[in-house]
Amino acid sequence: MGDVSSCPPLTRSSVQAAHEAIKQHIHRTPTITCDTISHLASTPQSADSLKGTPFEGRTPAKPQISLFFKCENYQKIGAFKARGAFHALSRLSQEELSKGVVTHSSGNHAQALALAARTHGIPAHIVMPTISTPSKIAATKGYGANVIFSGSTSDEREAVVADVIRDTGAILVPPYDHPNIMLGQGTLALELEEQAKDFDARGLDAVVAPCGGGGMLSGVATALYGTGIRVFGSEPSFEGADDAKRGVESGERVEKVKTLTIADGLRTPLGKIPWTVISDPEKVKGMYSVSEEQIKAAMRLLLERAKVFVEPSAAVPLAVILYDENFRSMVEKEGGEQGWKAESS
């Protein structure tokens, strides 16, 4: 997508401009509440539940938390990725659009770019690993994309993408590691900020967002920087999937991740450009990670109590809020009796 130096700056005003550019193409997804889940989040964990965890022996925290949920599972293609794809295409010239677009993805970005390309009436070439799930392959083809199969490693996928670019001149639209993608994903935070005030004029105190490649988290942090709303990131801990957390703690981005966490949308290492935002403690106040069982429990709770079915990656923020004692103790200390109005993206 050209030289990133020509992209808009990573600022709140750029996210606002991105929203203006894409709002005709996306859904303004609902933000909901669930009193039962907020009550559970505000109830101390039992001492027994902390046994075998890093928090064993600690006095369980008792934060006061009122939760909001931004339902991007109701977005076009079923995920927030549509925002970044539509914004990326809105930034291309007519000459660039006429060449078509290409990316490599086994999941939601593949479908998002295919839909955005179809909307603009241009070709989309999607490189997908042969191990991709049949439903995702079918959905991507259903949006009119030319699906090309590759091996499963990043080197194999990138080699096929290079072949497509050489043969067609198509423009590469990366899944997360680009300012235009980040700004597009950040538009969900602008809607959330307004919607939360419809429930309570006080608005939000914090947002907890999932982090894989970092497109959403960095976009949300960019959108909300300067508003007083704190932004936190969440990851699975399984097999080193918490690379962003480890990178922030060490001060150096982790470049490779190999994990089979159930939260398959978060198996990707943090991108170079998202890292510049996420590693800034003024923009992202902290990174937290949770276990596979905690992610499953959060998914189950959302289905049973909020009647919302989400993929595992989307349940990671709620799992942090419910089970991470470091996060919960911080909310108890900083929120006091008034507590926090928090969103689990």
By three-state DSSP, how is residue 240 classified? helix
Please give the Cα distance from 278 to 222 (Å, whole number).
9
End-to-end CA distance of the chain: 28
Question: Which one of the listed residues 14, 38, 42, 81 is annotated catalytic?
Answer: 81
**Cβ-proximal residues to 287 (8 Å cutoff; 6+ apart), any chain:** 211, 232, 233, 234, 235, 242, 244, 245, 248, 249, 278
Q: What is the dihedral of CA 78, 81, 82, 86, to 10 degrees?
A: 180
Among this protein's residues, is 106 annotated catalytic? yes
Going by C-alpha positions, the residue among 264, 263, 285, 311 that lies closest to residue 217 is: 285
Among this protein's residues, is 23 annotated catalytic? no
**Bridge partners of 31?**
70
Question: Which one of the listed residues 106, 234, 237, 344 is annotated catalytic?
Answer: 106
Please give the Cα distance from 169 to 23 (Å, whole number).
28
Count of all residues that appear for the chain in the document: 345
Beta strands in the chain (DSSP E): 31-33, 65-70, 101-104, 124-129, 146-150, 171-172, 206-210, 230-236, 286-290, 340-344
Within 10 angstroms of residue 201's Cβ, the number of other Cβ atoms is 7
Going by C-alpha positions, the residue among 344, 23, 17 that lies closest to residue 179 is: 17
Going by C-alpha positions, the residue among 89, 126, 121 that lies closest to residue 110 is: 126
The secondary structure of residue 253, as a DSSP letter, is: -
Phi and psi torsions of 183, nearest 5°: -65, -40
Q: Which residues are catalytic?
A: 81, 106
